[in-house]
Amino acid sequence: MQKAFSLVIALFLSTSFTLIYAQLPAEIDTTKNWYLSWNDEFNYPDSKLDDSWDSQNGSNHHILCSRWRENAVVKDGLLHLENRKENKGGQEWTSGSIWTKKRFKYGYFECRYKYAAVEATNNSFWLMTRGADPKEGKRFEIDINEGHYPNEMNTNIHQWSDFTYDENGKKKHYSYHKAFPFGAKPGYSIQLEIPVKAQKVRLQSNNNARFNIGEFRVYGINNGNYPDVMSPTADTDIAGLMNLATAKDVKISSSGSYKNNNSEKNLIDGKWNTSWSTQEKGNKWIEFEWDNEITIGCIQFLNGWRDKHKNWHNLLSDYKVQYFYNGKWNDISVLDVSEDYNFGEEFHTYGLLWDEENIVFYFDGQEVRREKNDFCFSESPIWLSLAIIKWSGPVTDAIDGTSMKVDYVRYYQKK
């Protein structure tokens, strides 16, 4: 049987990264009205880093590492922000965070770098004002990219001058997040070219981090007529089509669930806001078994979770959907985004076009997000930071010795 490999090309990507990341956005035309105003290519001895950059030297409360100048190392034409497992500053890990002595206002900012090739790291290129409220606008933070291995780009805009309070009296500030998980998506609909007969079906993943699977659907042959995988009423959208995963004789077993809460039943309750949440560690799998053999024409499932801005988070980086036949598990669909979208092995460019009216984010020269500029009107240094975090995968000894590798930082202005 032909394997249906699900390799999703993200919204705006070309098929060739090599051609894209060397290109500036079309708007930044250096033959006409733009010029390179400032840059750092890191082609100098490590001691020269201090001529243009300051460094954090201390601990943090919001992340799992302290950060120090000695973790920012220039060698072989690259800046390495290094993770180390060592007790320092009252924390068990160390890493690096630096910012430019020079401050910038408006223009096009670009950085070419590789992520630290391990989960639970935050690989950041960003702008943030320092000191008291500026004369123009508000204190702000623009995260051009907070990258999470292996394939996720995160952009944020924060306003730090004004706060409100929620119903529990907790401080809240203006923040707008948008994520781009390349090579992964929240919903998969896998139609089989050749239907198969089986009594067992499973989804399994080596994803290190805990993840959520929403609805899981198994359909018989229906001449290719299946519901939209993202429909919240999929089980009733097509008259006469039954989701066999909800059959009375089905038995559901799994590798475990978060805090042993037996959330497997949420896979077939027809609700978007419930899910099976896996255990923290080890291989994760969910299995469906029927008393009698069924014929399978299509399998659908949802994964991840969606925030109030309709951004999806914690999407699976790998999975296998399989059926059991002749005493072994056979693949129906396989995905491993790290084979095609591994930002720890590949350099990519992350860019920001910032002016009085707009804030525009870029990946490899292609626009990915555009927002109105409401409060970012003052000067800011450029920041490069690596952090160890608990919300993007398990914190393990595999982090020790990894690094975010920066090829260059460039700043363009209009003539």
Residue 12's pLDDT is 36
CATH topology assigned to domain 17-179+350-414: Jelly Rolls (2.60.120)
Residue 88's pLDDT is 97
Residue 310's pLDDT is 80
Partners of 414 in beta bridges: 34
186 vs 309, more confident: 186
Looking at the whole model, is its pTM more than 0.85? Answer: no
pLDDT tops 70 at residue 350: yes
Instruction: Give Cα 247 distance to the centre of its chain.
Output: 35
* Inter-residue contact 84 to 403 (CB < 8 Å): no
Exposure string for 124-137, b = 16+ CB within 10 A, e = fewer: bbbbbbeeeebeeb
The chain-wide mean pLDDT, for the chain, equals 91
Task: Name the percent of the chain lying above pLDDT 70.
Answer: 94
Find the mean pLDDT for residues 316-328: 94
Q: How far apart are CA 321 and CA 70, in angstroms?
A: 45
Q: What is the pLDDT of residues 60-85, one digit of tens each?
A: 999 999 999 999 999 999 999 999 99
Taking the domains of the chain in order of start, what are their residue ranges? 17-179+350-414, 187-339
Find the mean pLDDT for residues 110-125: 97
pLDDT category of residue 22 using cuts at 50, 70 and 90: low
pLDDT category of residue 226 using cuts at 50, 70 and 90: very high
pLDDT tops 70 at residue 273: yes
Find the mean pLDDT for residues 98-124: 97
* Inter-residue contact 204 to 216 (CB < 8 Å): no
Cβ neighbours for 49, distance < 8 A, ≥ 6 positions apart: 42, 72, 74, 79, 98
Find the mean pLDDT for residues 206-234: 93
pLDDT tops 80 at residue 413: yes
Q: How far apart are CA 410 and CA 109, in angstroms?
A: 6
Residue 302: CB atoms within 10 A of its CB come to 24
Residue 56's pLDDT is 98
What single letter denotes the amino acid at residue 344? G
pLDDT category of residue 102 using cuts at 50, 70 and 90: very high
Cα Dmax for the chain: 73
Residue 391's pLDDT is 85
Q: How far apart are CA 318 and CA 337, in angstroms?
A: 6
**Residue position matching structure tokens 């910038």:** 104
Residue 20: enclosing H or E segment and its boundaries?
helix 17-20
Residue 1's pLDDT is 35
pLDDT category of residue 18 using cuts at 50, 70 and 90: very low
pLDDT category of residue 177 using cuts at 50, 70 and 90: confident
Residue 156's pLDDT is 96
Q: What is the pLDDT of residues 191-219, one digit of tens each?
A: 999 999 999 999 999 987 889 999 999 99
What DSSP designation does 137 have? Answer: S
* Inter-residue contact 358 to 376 (CB < 8 Å): no
